[in-house]
Structure 1
Amino acid sequence: MDPILSVVVQNMRSRGICTSFCCVIIFLSIFDVLKLTTARCESGEVDMYQYPDSPFPANKTIEFKKPFTATPSVMYGITMIDINYAENKRAKIELLGSNETAFTVWMGTMHDTKLYGLGMRWMACD
């Protein structure tokens, strides 16, 4: 055991303060000094749809309900797609940027694909 910690525990014992209470206080002090926090995640869903005129390509900014303490990692995936049957099926979502309060994605297609709807589910965690 650390000599300083040993002296603190011994001093608290001599004053009649229980050891478990002492350990809790020391743990909370270390926790505060190191600024340890638990991870936080937020998730949501975005659907864009318009027929017969396509709204794509489009940039979409999603704001978090509560700001993160640092820039979170953002994961996302396609959940819905509505494409004209006559062309090749191509759709793309690209993360353009993120910060503590929001992130922006580009939603679109390539070449001759006619895209009428595209949905995504996302999750951001620090």
Structure 2
Amino acid sequence: MKKSQAHKSLFLAAFILTLNFLPRPTTARCESGEVNEYEYPKSPFPVNKTIDFQQPFAAKPSIMYGITMLDMNYAENKRAKIKLLRSDPASFTVWLGTMHDTKLYGLGMRWMACD
């Protein structure tokens, strides 16, 4: 085999081997839902809610959430809080509550988890 053909063959073999080690495209998956806690005239808060995913993620997902509904007594200051307590590939737990003298009757949140 000639020297130039040997170089071409070597280059081609190295190129093909390199392709096997390139990162493969991944598909991201997201799941979303809504949580609403409501009780009147008694306040059910604070409350811990665990949300189970329909299908577990491959690793711990990123979780975003926001308040979608508030029902409070008009006479006190308006304070509501949501905290992410724990998350894993199969579920996550949030704390829904209030602070100080606020009477909270309803609190809703919308969430999205993505890997």
TM-score, with structure 2 as normaliser: 0.82
Equivalenced residue count is: 105
Indicate the structure with greater helix content: 1
- In structure 1, runs of 5+ residues without a counterpart are 9-25
Q: Is residue 12 of structure 2 the alignment partner of residue 3 of structure 1?
A: yes
Query: Which runs of 4 or more aligned residues in structure 1 lie more than 4 Å from their structure 2 counterparts after TM superposition?
Result: none
TM-score, with structure 1 as normaliser: 0.76
Q: 1:87 aligns with which of 76, 79, 83?
A: 76
> Which residue of structure 1 aligns with residue 38 of structure 2?
49
> Which residue of structure 2 aligns with residue 63 of structure 1?
52
User: Within 5 Å, which residues of 2 pair with 1:17-56?
Assistant: 34=23, 36-56=25-45
% identical aligned pairs: 67
Q: Is residue 62 of structure 2 the alignment partner of residue 73 of structure 1?
A: yes
- In structure 2, runs of 5+ residues without a counterpart are 1-7
